[in-house]
């Protein structure tokens, strides 16, 4: 149970332990803020224990007249120390990461860290990517499990700055994982996990983040060889005609980027293979209806495509139509499938962090426009929508996922602390009004999708009558 915050008033001497890396709490001296867990005193009152260590000498170093504010929380507390090294886009700089969790001793790891993201690197609250390094050889990476997630060396610290109450991105990933797990025999690949935490950087409180796993070949279960049959992963990083499945730009060799995509997990720029992706997009954009209908079941994992189309429409994920997705093929003979990333601009907000009336907008790209002319796909969307609406997409079930995350951050005092540090939050409505807006938005959005996905019988009948007649490719 989170106890909240209190003010220190003890006059005990400062403990040198507080200034050491193994301390059981973290301090922002400039703001007079201490975060700790309720078990800091190993079963005793945490406030009195921490107070005896911070006042009066440490309190006098705070740049505030009032005593330090002590907040007991349940979220993990992370502290990254870089010394005099400034973190930038690249290269990674050496640092240490300390992790505090309730009921566990402090853990300290050597890391190399950099900013993460293009647009997000311009925000006042930065996102980071870091790599765990070997304690005995800093030049070598090491894989370890963090916060109950998988064993890995590469990790993401997402700032959650671009959304008002820091729950849209986090909850959207949870929804996608549940949709994927809902399929029978769902063992084709894994999906990234995330955990909320609160971050300090060189003694400065940075607010709520999530620590998350990075998508990698092991997670996606790619075939491991260097020949033409190996798996391929392309990351859609910007809007373009290719990533929107509208047309094919020219390929310039060698290049790590093409048509809004970035080739990932390919060993060297000169070895990047664009032809597998180009051939797939060419089929989508140039094949006639007969060719498309005959090929699409082999080229695309249709269950995944159905889910991804429903998912981006459920959340009106405008960015995830033509960027912010991975397009994956596990081997040369495998179908392509989608894995989303960067889901902050969903559920009623858009760049630059403002609400937008997308209640009745339909989320398409060129591939999904063509698929919605394919009767089997339309029928599959209808059947899947009805199945989800009887479980995961029941209005109260869906809203409860957002409300639970909202309540967890509320109970841990995250929103109250954000009000004290303006650079940690975007300019939005109050937290309670924002969650109410989000829930009302979901109600209306689901009603709209019920009227679309739930009423396609006539469309399916028409398409089946027309099936087999050659037509021009879908309009662009």
Q: What is the pLDDT of residues 435-444, one digit of tens each?
A: 999 999 999 9
Most confident stretch, 128-137, 257-266, 394-403: 394-403
In a domain, 162, yes or no: no
Least confident range from 22-26, 233-237, 291-295: namely: 22-26
Judging by beta carbons within 10 Å of its beta carbon (0-12, 13-18, 19+), is residue 74 exposed, middle or buried? middle
Helix or strand or coil: residue 317?
A: coil
Mean pLDDT over 180-208 rounds to 88
Instruction: Express as a percent the part of the chain with pLDDT over 70.
Output: 81
| Domain range enclosing 47 | 4-73
Measured CA angle at 459 (ends 456, 461), to 5 deg: 110
Q: How far apart are CA 25 and CA 36, in angstroms?
A: 5
Judging by beta carbons within 10 Å of its beta carbon (0-12, 13-18, 19+), is residue 268 exposed, middle or buried? exposed
Instruction: Return phi, psi of residue 21, to 5°.
Output: -65, -20
Rg (CA), the chain: 25
Which residue would you say has higher pLDDT here, 185 or 317?
317
Write the pLDDT tens digit of every residue in 113-143: 998 876 666 777 899 999 999 988 888 999 9
Least confident range from 7-16, 99-108, 125-134, 280-289: namely: 7-16
Mean pLDDT over 418-430 rounds to 73
In a domain, 13, yes or no: yes
| Residue 262 near residue 234 (C-beta atoms within 8 A) | yes
**pLDDT > 80? residue 381:** yes
Instruction: Express as a percent the part of the chain with pLDDT over 90.
Output: 61
**pLDDT recorded at residue 255:** 82
**pLDDT recorded at residue 423:** 72
Count Cβ atoms below 10 Å from residue 417 Cβ, excluding itself: 22
**pLDDT recorded at residue 465:** 85
In a domain, 365, yes or no: no
Domain count, the chain: 1
Write the pLDDT tens digit of every residue in 215-228: 999 999 987 765 55
Q: How far apart are CA 326 and CA 329, in angstroms?
A: 10
Eight-state DSSP code of residue 218: H
| Residue 411 near residue 181 (C-beta atoms within 8 A) | no
Query: Residue 190 contacts by C-beta under 8 Å, 6 or more apart in sequence?
Result: 150, 219, 220, 221
**pLDDT > 50? residue 174:** yes
**pLDDT > 70? residue 60:** no
Q: Please count the helices (runs of H) and the strands (runs of E) in the chain.
A: 14, 20
In a domain, 124, yes or no: no
Q: How far apart are CA 32 and CA 51, in angstroms?
A: 13
In a domain, 12, yes or no: yes
Eight-state DSSP code of residue 410: H
Which residue would you say has higher pLDDT here, 47 or 103?
103
Confidence of residue 22 (pLDDT cuts 50, 70, 90): confident
Q: What is the DSSP string of 71-125?
A: EEESS-EEEEE-TTPPP-SSS-EEEEEEEE-TTS--EEEEEEEEE--SSGGGSSS
**pLDDT > 90? residue 287:** yes
Q: How far apart are CA 107 and CA 99, in angstroms?
A: 5
**pLDDT recorded at residue 184:** 66
**pLDDT recorded at residue 186:** 64
Write the pLDDT tens digit of every residue in 66-75: 678 899 999 9
**pLDDT > 60? residue 351:** yes
In a domain, 424, yes or no: no
**pLDDT recorded at residue 159:** 93
Which two tokens mark 440? 């009302």
Which residue would you say has higher pLDDT here, 61 or 117?
117
**pLDDT recorded at residue 280:** 96
Confidence of residue 356 (pLDDT cuts 50, 70, 90): low
Q: What is the DSSP string of 132-198?
A: EB-SS-TTSB--EE-TT--EESEEEEE--TTSSSS-HHHHHHHHHHHHHHTSTT--S-----EEEEE
Confidence of residue 21 (pLDDT cuts 50, 70, 90): low
| Residue 470 near residue 288 (C-beta atoms within 8 A) | yes
In a domain, 33, yes or no: yes
pLDDT, mean over the chain = 85
Task: Give the CA-trace dihedral at 73, 78, 82, 86, to 10 degrees.
Answer: -80
In a domain, 379, yes or no: no
């Amino acid at each position: 149970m989170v106890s909240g915050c209190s003010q220190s008033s003890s006059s005990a001497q400062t403990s040198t332990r507080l200034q050491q890396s193994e301390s059981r709490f973290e301090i922002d001296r400039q703001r007079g803020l201490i975060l700790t867990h309720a078990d800091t005193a190993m079963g005793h009152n945490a406030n009195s224990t921490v107070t005896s260590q911070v006042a009066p000498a440490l309190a006098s170093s705070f740049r505030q007249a009032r005593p330090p504010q002590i907040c007991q929380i349940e979220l993990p507390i992370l502290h990254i120390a870089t010394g005099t090294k400034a973190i930038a886009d690249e290269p990674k700089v050496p640092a240490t990461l300390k992790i505090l969790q309730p009921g566990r001793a402090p853990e300290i790891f050597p890391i190399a860290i950099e900013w993460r993201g293009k647009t997000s690197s311009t925000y006042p609250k930065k996102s980071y990517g870091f790599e765990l390094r070997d304690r005995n050889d800093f030049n070598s990476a090491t894989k370890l499990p963090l916060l109950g997630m998988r064993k890995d060396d590469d990790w993401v610290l997402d700032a959650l700055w671009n959304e008002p109450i820091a729950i849209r991105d986090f909850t959207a990933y949870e929804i996608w994982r549940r949709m994927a797990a809902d399929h029978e025999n769902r063992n084709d690949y894994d999906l990234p996990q995330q955990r909320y935490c609160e971050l300090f950087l060189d003694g400065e409180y940075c607010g709520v983040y999530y620590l998350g796993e990075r998508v990698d070949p092991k997670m996606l279960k790619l075939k491991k060889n260097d020949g033409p049959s190996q798996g391929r992963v392309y990351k859609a990083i910007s809007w373009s005609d290719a990533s929107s499945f509208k047309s094919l730009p020219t390929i310039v060799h060698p290049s790590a980027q093409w048509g809004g995509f970035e080739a990932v997990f390919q060993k060297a720029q000169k070895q990047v293979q664009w032809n597998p992706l180009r051939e797939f997009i060419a089929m989508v954009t140039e094949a006639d209806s007969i060719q498309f209908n005959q090929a699409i079941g082999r080229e695309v994992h249709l269950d995944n495509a159905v889910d991804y189309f429903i998912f981006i429409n459920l959340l009106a994920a405008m960015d995830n139509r033509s960027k912010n997705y991975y397009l994956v093929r596990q081997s040369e003979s495998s179908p392509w499938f989608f894995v989303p990333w960067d889901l902050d601009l969903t559920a009623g907000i858009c760049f630059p962090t403002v609400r937008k009336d997308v209640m009745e907008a339909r989320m398409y790209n060129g591939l999904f426009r063509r698929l919605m002319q394919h009767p089997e796909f339309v029928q599959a969307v209808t059947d899947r929508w009805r199945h989800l609406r009887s479980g995961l997409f029941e209005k109260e079930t869906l809203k409860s996922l957002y409300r639970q995350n909202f309540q967890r951050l509320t109970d841990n005092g995250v929103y109250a602390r954000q009000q004290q540090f303006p650079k940690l939050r975007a300019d939005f409505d109050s937290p309670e009004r924002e969650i109410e807006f989000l829930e009302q938005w979901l109600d209306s959005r689901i009603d709209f999708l019920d009227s679309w996905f739930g009423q396609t019988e006539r469309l399916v009948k028409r398409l089946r009558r027309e099936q087999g007649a050659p037509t021009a490719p879908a309009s662009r």
